[in-house]
Structure 1
Amino acid sequence: MVTPDTSTEADPDLRPGEVPSHWYNVIADLVGYVPEERAPARQHSGPALRPQLPLSIYRQSVSREPFVAIPAEVQAQYERWRPTPLIRARGLEQRLRTPARIYYKYEGASLSGSHKLNTAIAQAYYYKQAGVEELVTATGAGQWGTALAMACTMFGLKCTAFMVKCSHDQKPQRRMLVELNGGRVIPSPSTATKAGAAILAGDPGCPGSLSIASSEAHEYATESENARYCAGSGDNHVLLHQTVIGQEALAQLREIGDYPDAVVGALGAGSNFAGIAMPFFRHSKLTGRATELVAVEPKACPKLTRGIYTWDHHDALGNTPMSRMYTLGHTFVPSAIHAGGLRYHGAAPVVSWMYHERLISAVAYGQKSVFDAAAEFVRAEQVIPAPESAHAIRYVIDRAVKAREAGTPETILFNLSGHGLMDLSAYEQWTAGLLDDYPAAEADIERAQAKLSARAVER
């Protein structure tokens, strides 16, 4: 069992070409926030869940130290592609005729093509040190499944990924990437678990959701001797590992003498947004320089902008402990939008608390307008963004246009968390005019809100 090294000192003078030596822990700077969970009132199905986290990772998730040292083995892997580029989007600026300066941190430059590898490597390292032989997970669009399979290969672990069925069908190349890296992919809901079989019995055409895939992954991990469940977003330690993104961006902007008025990231559960935003939260707190932190989510799954702040489970069957978060309910099944990584029913507890305290802001967009923005970005920058990242681009374009109309020169930074080369079929649908915003989603969201409100009254 490895205990993470903690320190109150990190890299205040990190140079643009260097990889951070520490992760930043935002919990240290959140006065009033308490990381806590509630055990489920009853076990809904299957055997009782055993603890899944190694003690080393658990300590990270509840630590109040501002920095956690990155193990040498993890840092060595990071150095294979980090630091990732900070790019000024001059083509987009010119296309929009805006006085705003637009920068993006390009996490698509990672070995897996997305930001997910930052935490996958860290978690595989800690689980390996704890004697675990197989990591089991739930993945939406497949970026997380790909990253975890790669990390497991690096550290000699097996990998099993329950992939949300609609994304599994939309993105067969992602499944192939996982399998090429030695992982096994099971479309969820499946008949491989009691949880999946029960859901399919009630809804044979269910498109799946991350909460359903999580239920299946937890059951599989519980019933396998040397396997453990591993999360790719939402948990405190996952957000912690992603902060190398924002720390590098701070150093890179300092080198060129600029600083953002707004820092923007797409939000599924929180790793994309937190990775870029949290280090700027600390910097603003220390220096007094105002920076707006903006989370962008899909209208089909708007947990921050339309969810309810309450205690909820992380899986569809309610077997996992509850966290207090903005949620649409753990049984909510979003429409099958192409931004599969943003279809999680709740926001990370830390992000939810910050939103509740008005330390960050949030906005939601429909799928078609998001792809409109992505196409604009492709033509301006010749970079194809993942549909998840395109949500941030939609906000950036809208804000840059407002800056043009107001004649306000401001600086906007966003996290381009992954490339869209595996999503060309979605772009093909956009080109053909076949993408829609799922009008039925509105009724689903209203039912979810009513269900949560009724539950709150009962309690």
Structure 2
Amino acid sequence: MKVVLPDGRIPRRWYNILPDLPEPLAPPLDPETNEPVDPKKLERIFAKELVKQEMSTKRYIKIPEEVRKMYSKIGRPTPLFRATNLEKYLNTPARIYFKFEGATVTGSHKINTALAQAYYAKKEGIERLVTETGAGQWGTALSLAGALMGIKVRVYMARASYEQKPYRKVLMRIYGAEVFPSPSENTEIGKRFLSENPNHPGSLGIAISEAIEDVLKDEKARYSLGSVLNHVLMHQTVIGLEAKQQMEEFEEPDVIIGCVGGGSNFAGLAYPFVKEVLDGDNEYEFIAVEPKAAPSMTRGVYTYDFGDSGELTPKLKMHTLGHRYHVPPIHAGGLRYHGVAPTLSVLVNNGIVKPIAYHQTEVFEAAALFAKLEGIVPAPESAHAIKAAIDKAIEAKKEGKEIVILFNLSGHGLLDLHGYEEYLEGRLQDYEPKDLPISNALNLKS
């Protein structure tokens, strides 16, 4: 039914996909010059070691022993389960497995990179970390990591989630963090968006801008990011490296699935398996699932764009809806982002990863079914992967084909019950852009 690894099998290295990509990754551009950004500029925003890792072409990077010990303390290695009740209910020849990152003390995969980032910040004498958060899972993870490392943390939380998920901000505050709804009155960027719309629901793009503006006012502060950039995705590969060991106790997967906002939890599970495909050693089907309300992979444009709404970040080449795209306030707050990780964009472009999109009602329907059958209430973000796994298992039944499905259940939904309440009472609203005026949304100089 499950495989739980001993502490000694926590991975000792993170996997860096950069040297194995099918094409070179386009460099981030300085918005002032449109030339590749000087790493020294990035060091004013990020810890120096993270900038070094972001640019590194080493295939594997050693996990500091102190971080490995903390991984053990917060619940790594996480268990891998077989969803036998779901299989029986679907009456499918498919066999379904899931890696359960909700077993960590903060309830999601985000703690994997939060601990690493806080560790490097502490070593460099950084006194304060500032970040954004959507659903609150990333903010919670960094709040705990800061508490464990003795670093102050400030979180700008997208206003829609701040109001929908009140206990997320309570948890962050228990860990000692400051939490502000974004857009906020703390920053000039926040004030600007509030002047345009006093009831602005916020977005990850706006919250990122506020966090960076905050950091640039304080020499002892640095920005900490929960997804999109390569060093973040690399830290998450502990998930897939553990899963590879655990699946050896079961069988080889055929299909690997994860949800995508910025791309960290999908990459965390999938990238160690993607390496085998890129090396020509194996064949897997990779499915990346996003909401129809923020369809960056399925309907976005592959181009250079800002990572934030206030145009403070370097420009990244990625699938994007435009940094000015107004993301509707769906309950999967962690997926409410206008772009996607540049490395994942390369894999989508090369046909290695297949993107699909769902409405939130069908996602919650799959989540509720999974909870009844397997006992775990999944986060709305993770439920996107569950929906795709169910659809794939039904497809296998129609085709009479035995397949092995592995997906990442990246977090539990025990602090997302307001969304489930709206689903149960039939009050969920589905959002899908009828038209995407990409050129207007991008608002980029030629």
Compute the TM-score of the two structures, normalised by the length of structure 2: 0.94
Q: Aligned-pair distance for 1:283? A: 2.5
Give, as a single letter, the amino acid of the residue that structure 2 aligns with 1:181.
Y
Note the residue ranges of structure 2 that are not aligned, 5 or more in a row: 35-40
Query: Could you tell me which residue of structure 2 aligns to residue 399 of structure 1?
Result: 392
CA shift, 1:59, in A, is 1.5
SS of equivalent to 1:255: coil
Q: What are the equivalent positions in structure 2 for 1:50-449 lying under 5 Å apart?
A: 51-80=44-73, 81-256=75-250, 258-286=251-279, 288-438=281-431, 441-443=432-434, 446-449=435-438
Shift of 1:106: 0.1
Tell whether the 8 Å contact from 1:105 to 1:416 is kept in structure 2 after alignment.
yes
Offset from partner CA, 1:329-381 (integer Å, 9 cap, x none): 11112110000000011001111111112121100000100001101111110
Alpha-carbon offset, residue 454 of structure 1: 8.1
Is the contact made by 1:332 and 1:448 (CA closer than 8 Å) also made in structure 2?
no
Task: Determine the C-alpha separation between the residues in 2 that align with 1:431 and 1:130.
Answer: 48
Q: Is the 8 A contact 1:16 1:255 kept in 2?
A: no
Runs of 4+ in 1 over 3 A off after TM superposition: 284-287, 452-455
CA deviations over 1:118-172 (Å, ceiling 9, x no partner): 0000000011111100000000000000000000011100000000000000000
**Equivalent position amino acid for 2:24 in 1:** Y
- In the superposition, relative to structure 1, how do residues 50 and 105 fare at CA in structure 2: closer, same or farther (>3 Å)? closer
Cross-structure match for 1:12: none
TM-score (norm 1): 0.92
CA contact (8 A) 2:22 2:278 kept: no
Deviation at 1:447, TM superposition (A): 3.8
Say what the alpha-carbon RMSD is for the aligned residues. 1.7
1:451 aligns with 2:436: no
* In structure 1, C-alpha distance between the alignment counterparts of 2:225 and 2:242, rounded to whole Å: 24
Please tell me the residue identity of whatever aligns with 1:91: N
Q: Does residue 1:23 correspond to 2:17, yes or no?
A: no
Q: Any conservation in 1 of the 2:134–2:204 contact (CA below 8 Å)? A: yes
C-alpha distance in structure 2 between counterparts of 1:169 and 1:319, whole Å: 26
Q: How far apart are residue 31 of structure 1 and its match? A: 3.6
Aligned to 2:394, the other structure's residue is in SS state: helix
Gaps of 5+ in 1: 1-14
Shift of 1:450: 4.4
* Distance in 1 separating the partners of 2:442 and 2:126: 40
Number of matched residues? 434
Q: Choose 265-274 or 28-37, whichever is displaced more.
A: 28-37
How far off its partner does 1:231 sit? 0.4
